[in-house]
Structure 1
Amino acid sequence: MEVRALCIRLLSTASMLLVAHVQRSYPQTSGADFRIVPSRLQLFDHESVSFSCQGFNVSAGWRVRNIKNRTSCLKSTVTCTNNYAWVSDSGEYWCEAAGGERSNTVNITVTGGSVILESPVLPVMEGESVSLRCRTRKNVSDLTADFYKDGLLIGSSSTGNITIESVSRSDDGLYKCNISGAGESPQSRLMVTGKCKDSC
């Protein structure tokens, strides 16, 4: 029994490594973007969410994949929609063309909790301003929210919104928010990229 269990574990590990190797071998298509509507990284369960792939040859077909190696949709149109997102749908997503080319990867969190943090889906360029919003499931306004970066309090807001002016690489990190009496949001990564150069 012990030998059989060891073999099963070895086969499982080998399968995961093979999937990871295949995923890394796919080239990322320059200018191809994965986009999500609504344009935020966190969703409440049972919300509707749409995906779109830009920069691909749509007529050749593309699909949305996730880190669990599942195909969310296989389309020859511009967008695909999941009418009811579940907590189990959380994870990394990307667009994949028929030839294996991939877009950027987006990490989506679907929560069964009462609070989410609205933050940019795509990386933000240095020097730009970024707005973060803490929102409850019932969308109640005028609730004081505390905002955290990498576990440290960075500010509070009586409107549930906070703006980071002229972001820099040091603002890259994991953000979350908390509304007293309502709950705490999951964490999402705010990615900051370097300033665009002449080759952009």
Structure 2
Amino acid sequence: MKTFPTSAVWCFGILFISVSLITTVLLSTLVYCSLGQGGASLSVSPDRSQFFEYESVSLSCEVQGNSAGWRVVRNTERGILSECKTTWGELKGSSCIVSLIPSDSGVYWCESGSGKHSNAVNITVPAGAVILESPALPVTEGDSVTLRCRYQGTLSNHTAVFYKDGSLIRTETTGEMTIPAVSKSDEGLYKCTNSSSEGESPESWMTVTARGSTPSSSPPKALPSPLSPPLSVCLWVGGCSLHLSDHSTGPVLQEEQRCSC
């Protein structure tokens, strides 16, 4: 039994996990960890985490001080790490404009030439006909938040059913639901389904922060994988001790004070 301490550094690593569940599943997940904010934040416009194919999103790095050298980078579901205007995206001023297709689904963040990083945001472009419009960036306690269930680019013409953490919370004939004043208890995984046969949206995480607080650059939640069986794995990656726990809602990366393997 060996115990690894947490190291207060930024780190990147590739995690390969072989799990036997009838057949062996190979998961290749890029993970990174941080113990501090890099002085920058990723701005997303429009502020939502799910998009239909060919919709556009604008990503920009809001930097305290000199913004030179900061760039938007991503890690896709295919495990490909790259920056804007390499094989994807178009730079317009300080913004990266992306006309989205399903292969653009992934984790996006800002990175400086000196190795500093911003917060990370999941963006999902499903192949299905239903998406959930929910904030990609953290929302503040007390603010009003509206979640919309969209079908092929429009609000659903049928009753939408909303779920939080896998449990039904509301049914709305308008296709949208409003939380007048969000609280920490509203934080969680949301999805919606259409009352007709269009299907359901992917799940998206909504983060709620206390008023006046600064969102931390904590490790991003990995993208849910339909091939991922429930697992709990201890790992040591590039100087950080992490614990990867895969629940029914998808894998979640958590930084642990100690992790024994």
Under TM normalisation by the shorter chain, which class is it?
0.7 to 0.9
Partner of 1:81: 97
* Cα distance per residue 1:112-168 (max 9 Å; x no partner): 110110111211122222110111114155421110001111101111110112222
C-alpha distance in 1, partners of 2:13/2:37? 23
Partner of 1:71: 83
Partner of 2:129: 114
> Using a 3 Å threshold, how does the CA distance of structure 1 residues 77 and 195 change in structure 2: closer, same or farther?
same
Equivalent residues in 2 for 1:24-173, closer than 5 Å: 24=33, 28-30=37-39, 32-55=40-63, 57-58=66-67, 60-67=68-75, 68=79, 69-73=81-85, 77-83=93-99, 85-140=100-155, 142-173=157-188
C-alpha deviation, 1:175, in angstroms: 0.1
Q: Is the 8 A contact 2:102 2:126 kept in 1?
A: yes
Select the structure that is richer in helix: 1
C-alpha deviation, 1:16, in angstroms: 1.0
C-alpha distance in 2, partners of 1:164/1:27? 31
C-alpha distance in 2, partners of 1:76/1:159? 36
C-alpha deviation, 1:38, in angstroms: 2.5
* Cα distance per residue 1:26-85 (max 9 Å; x no partner): 95323x221222221001122222211112533x232211233222337693101122x2
Give the aligned residue type for 2:177.
I
Give the aligned residue type for 2:130.
V
Higher RCO, Cα 8 Å, sep 6+ = 2
C-alpha distance in 2, partners of 1:15/1:130? 35
> Using a 3 Å threshold, how does the CA distance of structure 1 residues 26 and 71 change in structure 2: closer, same or farther?
farther
Q: Residue 191 in 1 paired to residue 203 in 2?
A: no
C-alpha distance in 2, partners of 1:44/1:141? 14
C-alpha deviation, 1:190, in angstroms: 0.6
* Structure 1 residues not aligned, in runs of 5+: 1-13
* Cα distance per residue 1:77-122 (max 9 Å; x no partner): 3101122x22121111101122222111101111111011011121
CA RMSD, 1 decimal: 2.6
C-alpha distance in 2, partners of 1:179/1:137? 12
* Cα distance per residue 1:10-32 (max 9 Å; x no partner): xxxx9615x967x43695323x2
C-alpha distance in 2, partners of 1:43/1:192? 21
Select the structure that is richer in strand: 2
Give the aligned residue type for 2:172.
S
Q: Secondary structure at the match of 1:70?
A: strand
Residue-pair matches, total: 179
C-alpha distance in 1, partners of 2:110/2:61? 6
Identity among equivalent pairs (%): 48
Give the alignment's TM-score, normalised by structure 1: 0.79
C-alpha distance in 2, partners of 1:188/1:86? 18
